Amino acid sequence: MSQIKENLLRVTERIEKAARRVGRDPKEIKLVAVSKTVEAARVKEAIEAGVSILGENYVQEAQKKIEEIGRSVAWHFIGHLQSNKAKYAVRIFDMIHSIDSLTLAEELNRRAEQVGQVAKVMIEVNISGEATKFGTDEEKVFSIVRRILNLGHLSLEGLMTMPPYFDLPEMSRPYYTKLRELKERMVREGIPLKELSMGMSNDFEIAIEEGATYVRVGTAIFGERKQKT
């Protein structure tokens, strides 16, 4: 069996175990295989092994790979998106996880309208770990979310976060708890969000315990990246 296939099996098992631990159906959790810096041949290997969603951080890199690999799988954008790349992003990605400003949302909406599409997006929330800072960022997210709901060519699917890196996965938990609580609060206030995109190679089990519906896993599937990004 190829290394990638073996890794994928192990990740899938870990996802299932984490889900069961907290009484969730493992099918609720979708795996985004993060393929930034990974060459097309190895991405194809992952697809043959069963991966169905790829996550990319750079528009140009993704564009090339998609040309070579095709659209039998879904391509998600998970990196920082510059407004001047919005017009490409709406065309090539099935989902954008990382909207971090209203300006970007409006530009994506405009570009989606031009090509007659509705772009699926999530908002990236910068969760502050400190209880004392509770509130401010959340309020800003609420106002962005409300504005986005009025943009006819964006479909707001959920929230995404990326905590600082910790060696101890358990340290990520408070960030994931907060994102889940934020989503729950929005749902209570009538904002229909479905998804929580959270959890990476070293902490996706914690994220699943806290409610993740998308986990974004690179290293645990493809091995260490040469360039650290």
Ligand X SMILES: *Cc1c(COP(=O)(O)O)cnc(C)c1O
Q: Which residues are near ligand X by CB under 6 A?
A: 34, 36, 57, 78-79, 162, 200-201, 216-220
Are 220 and 199 spatial neighbours (Cβ–Cβ below 8 Å)? no
Closest to ligand X by CB, 113 or 137: 137
Torsion angle of the four alpha carbons 73, 225, 29, 120, in this order, in degrees rounded to the nearest 10:
-50
Closest to ligand X by CB, 192 or 223: 223
When CB distances to ligand X are compared, the closest residue is: 218
Q: Closest separation between CB of residue 117 and ligand X, Å?
A: 23
Q: List Cα–Cα distances, 20 to 13, 24, 29, 172, 192, in angstroms.
A: 11, 6, 11, 20, 26
Q: Closest separation between CB of residue 171 and ligand X, Å?
A: 14
Closest to ligand X by CB, 134 or 165: 165
Q: Closest separation between CB of residue 204 and ligand X, Å?
A: 8
Q: Closest separation between CB of residue 76 and ligand X, Å?
A: 10
Q: What DSSP letter does each residue of 195-226 carry, written as one string?
A: EEE---TTTHHHHHHTT-SEEEESHHHH---S
Q: For helices 40-48 and 3-21, what crossing angle results, to 10°?
A: 50
Q: Closest separation between CB of residue 165 and ligand X, Å?
A: 8
Q: Closest separation between CB of residue 188 and ligand X, Å?
A: 27
Closest to ligand X by CB, 47 or 54: 54
Closest to ligand X by CB, 34 or 59: 34
Are 93 and 78 spatial neighbours (Cβ–Cβ below 8 Å)? no
Closest to ligand X by CB, 18 or 34: 34
Distance of CA 125 to the CA centre of its chain: 11
Are 5 and 187 spatial neighbours (Cβ–Cβ below 8 Å)? no
C-alpha–C-alpha distance, residues 27 and 46, integer Å? 19
